[in-house]
Amino acid sequence: MTARRRWAIPLVPLYAAGLALKQRLAPQPRSLTWPVLSVGSLSAGGAGKTPAVIALAELLADSGWSPTILSRGYGRASATSNTPAEVTPDDADAADRFGDEPTLIADRTGLPVWVCADRFAAGQAAEAQALAHTFSPTTEEASAEAAHPPLHLLDDGFQHRRLARTLDIVLLTAEDLDDTLLPAGNLREPLTALRRAHIIVVREDEAHVLTPRLEALNATGTLVWHIRRTLRFPQPLGIFSAGLRPMAFCGLARPTDFTASLAAAGCGVTGTLAFPDHHRYTDADIDHLLATARSLEATGFITTEKDAVKLTPALRTRIESRGQLMVVALDAAFTDPEAVVQTLRELLA
């Protein structure tokens, strides 16, 4: 096992004991009217849940379902609020109010996304709004929406025991295999927790590594889906949109994955400035970014969609005064979407 924070290794047994106690004392989960598909992971971040939620939401919508996404809205200004709020991604302060990932999901999918510390309350609000919309004096659009079976996608829900779910879909990465529990590592639960999953999602390029380990974990009876991840660069210049010597910056749980993906796509960077996951950018951060870019003689900047939604117009203007800002999208798609849809139809029938 690999310890990210070796000094915290003595605290791992305490975390494990607290986790076991929390599971024993967990209240009876509450059920919503619509089916709930949870998309989660064992790790505290970096497994690729957001691209997977977007891919699954779009696939469901294209296949006749009406999905609504429920999220805690981690990192938002009112993250502890128990008042449900529907994400409005076009608002200038959307990332601050709703969280970076919910804002990105709403923007990419165009689907309803609700945030609340109490995910059950978020689901109730979504269902109440849909019911009011269906029975209001509307047009053919409302009738067509009512004909599609509704369901919830619970973002990052594998450890959320307060809301009952119909299916648990869990992302697993090769890095998770050799990680250890918090606080020394990044795992929120041990690998044996995968036995609770109905479906495990692995990256296509890591399947050969993960399949034997899943067999060793006695998870062979669990369905496994493969997902393909690709970076999408702005057109028409593609990987050269920020010049020949771009500098990367991001606030991700696994920033090295971002730079490795850039390199694999043929987009080399002169340096990378990494901030904590879900970091909110300030003027001081931009000062640091610009100073580093000058020292590296960078021609421009590269960042992720998740980071871009947190840049105010004023911050973007400051960045672009030094060079072009290229926002790279991470697209995910299931390698066999027809099989995914057929499986869900059978399991949700």
- Determine, yes or no, domain membership for 349: no
Q: Are residues 127 and 262 in the same domain?
A: no
Longest alpha-carbon distance in the chain: 62
- Determine, yes or no, domain membership for 322: yes
Q: Are residues 197 and 255 in the same domain?
A: no
Quote the pLDDT of residue 220.
58
- Determine, yes or no, domain membership for 1: no
Q: Are residues 196 and 59 in the same domain?
A: yes
For residue 42, the Cα-to-chain-centroid distance in whole angstroms is 13
Whether 87 and 78 have beta carbons less than 8 Å apart is answered as no
Q: Are residues 81 and 19 in the same domain?
A: yes
Residue 25: band (very low, low, confident or very high) from pLDDT cuts 50, 70, 90? confident
Q: Which of 199, 228, 257 is the last residue of a domain?
A: 228
What residue numbers bound the domain in which 269 lies? 233-330
Specify the range with the lowest mean pLDDT, choosing from 44-48, 144-148, 296-300. Answer: 144-148
Q: What is the pLDDT of residues 30-72, one digit of tens each?
A: 999 999 999 999 999 889 999 999 999 999 999 999 999 999 9
For residues 20 and 26, what is the distance between their CA atoms, to the nearest angstrom? Answer: 10
Q: Which of 228, 256, 276 is the last residue of a domain?
A: 228
Q: Are residues 124 and 265 in the same domain?
A: no
Alpha helices (runs of H) in 218-335, residue ranges in sequence order:
255-264, 283-296, 305-308, 313-320
Measure Cα distances from 220 to 15, 42, 170, 204, 213 in Å.
Answer: 28, 18, 14, 17, 10
DSSP β-ladder status, 223-232 and 324-334: antiparallel
Q: Which of 211, 228, 245 is the last residue of a domain?
A: 228
Structure-token pair, residue 256 = 């090295």
- Determine, yes or no, domain membership for 244: yes
Q: Are residues 207 and 312 in the same domain?
A: no
Contacts of 121 (CB under 8 A, 6+ apart): 82, 83, 84
Q: Are residues 84 and 165 in the same domain?
A: yes
Find the distance separating the first CA and the last CA of the chain, reported in whole Å.
41
Q: Are residues 153 and 266 in the same domain?
A: no
Mean pLDDT of 248-272: 95
Quote the pLDDT of residue 349.
84
Query: Looking at residue 287, which CATH number applies to its domain?
Result: 3.40.50.1970
Q: Are residues 88 and 208 in the same domain?
A: yes
Residue 147: band (very low, low, confident or very high) from pLDDT cuts 50, 70, 90? low
- Determine, yes or no, domain membership for 214: yes
Q: What is the pTM of this model?
A: 0.93
Q: What is the pLDDT of residues 83-127, one digit of tens each?
A: 999 999 999 899 999 999 999 999 999 999 999 999 999 999 999
Q: Are residues 245 and 223 in the same domain?
A: no
> What does the chain come to in residues?
349
- Determine, yes or no, domain membership for 341: no
DSSP β-ladder status, 85-86 and 113-115: antiparallel
Q: Are residues 242 and 256 in the same domain?
A: yes
- Determine, yes or no, domain membership for 284: yes
- Residue 269: DSSP 8-state: -
Mean pLDDT of 20-29: 88
Picking from 260, 258, 241, the residue whose alpha carbon sits closest to that of residue 307 is 258
Residue with tokens 């499986």: 343
Average pLDDT over all residues of the chain: 92
Burial class (CB in 10 A: 0-12, 13-18, 19+), 309: buried
For residues 161 and 110, what is the distance between their CA atoms, to the nearest angstrom? Answer: 28
Query: Looking at residue 141, which CATH number applies to its domain?
Result: 3.40.50
Q: Are residues 239 and 146 in the same domain?
A: no
- Determine, yes or no, domain membership for 337: no
Number of folded domains that form the chain: 2
Q: What is the pLDDT of residues 189-213, one digit of tens each?
A: 999 999 999 999 999 999 999 988 8
